[in-house]
Each structure stands twice: as C-alpha cells, then as structure tokens.
Amino acid sequence: MKFRHYLVALTIFVLDRLTKWLVQVYLDPVRPVEVIPGYLRFSYTENTGVAFGLFDAMEFPWKPYILSALSIAAIAAILIYSAGKSSARWLLHYGLAVTMGGILGNFLDRLLKGYVIDFIDFHVQEIFHWPAFNVADSFITIGITLLLIDTLWNPEEEKAAVRSPACGKQ
C-alpha cells in the first residue's frame, strides 16, 4: 500500500471516531432520534460482539481481548498481504485500506471500553430490522466488497498465487 492508502485508512478511522464522539455527546441513550421515520434512526448501542451485533449475546470475560487480538491479526494480515501485491491493483489496495480504517475504529473502542458504539439503526417500518452498526462497520463492509470485486476482475492473479511454488503447489 502507498501513502495515499494509509491516508484513506486514517480518514476513515477519524470519521468513525468523530461520529462515535458525536453520538456519545449528543444522543440520549434511551431516546433514539428518528432520521427518516419508519426507516432510519440513530440509537445508542453498546455492542460487545463484532459487526452488526454478532456474538454480542455471548458472555465470557476474555471476549474483548480475543476480539482485539483478532483485530490486530487482521491489520497485520492486511499489511503483509498488500506488501506483495502490484500497485496496479488499485481496487485491492483501496479495499484493504478502507477495511483497515474500519477495523482500527472498532479496535480502539473495544480496547478502551470493552465494547463498540453502534448507532445507525436501519429498519423498514416494523417489517424488517437490521442490527445497529456504525461507520467503521460500514467501511469494513465496503472494503470487503471492493476486495471481492478486485478478485473477480483479477482471477488469474489470485490463481497464480495459489499455484506458486511458495505455496507448495505447481
């Protein structure tokens, strides 16, 4: 990754921190704010799980440490993986940067508080309700989508990496 990719990750991290700070300062935890009535509200939520509330209900004392360690491992994997990839694969590098920015935002919450602040609450009337999420979750999802698109655009490069002698297959 180049400097501009790290700048993208930093921008996403700062945007996530700013939105979570605004939520903590201005949003009443017991009174959600209807942004688009029947569809979107801002609602303060403390999520001890991962993106979109997964594993939030699981209670065990080491959960924040395990999830923090997984975040560190994911960031390390992104840095190592991106180092060996052609800079011509711009979608790959931006996807990794966007994902890393989101991971860093949630990692800091989890490290400092033991939970992640979620506040974007999307629903369709009373018919459908998506679990609350935050800016970091959104960018992690966008980043992974960019990575999938890059893989579809560059299938031969990914196959070559799997067949390389370094992987033990030829």
150 is catalytic: no
Catalytic residue of the set 109, 118, 121, 150: 118
Catalytic residue of the set 109, 121, 137, 150: 137
Residues near 70 by beta carbon (within 8 Å), at least 6 away in sequence? none
Q: Specify the length of the chain in residues.
A: 170
Q: Which two tokens stand for residue 145?
A: 């989508």
CA-CA distances (angstroms) from residue 85 to 81, 93, 100, 112?
A: 7, 8, 16, 33
Residues near 64 by beta carbon (within 8 Å), at least 6 away in sequence? 48, 110, 111, 114, 115
Which residues are designated catalytic? 118, 137
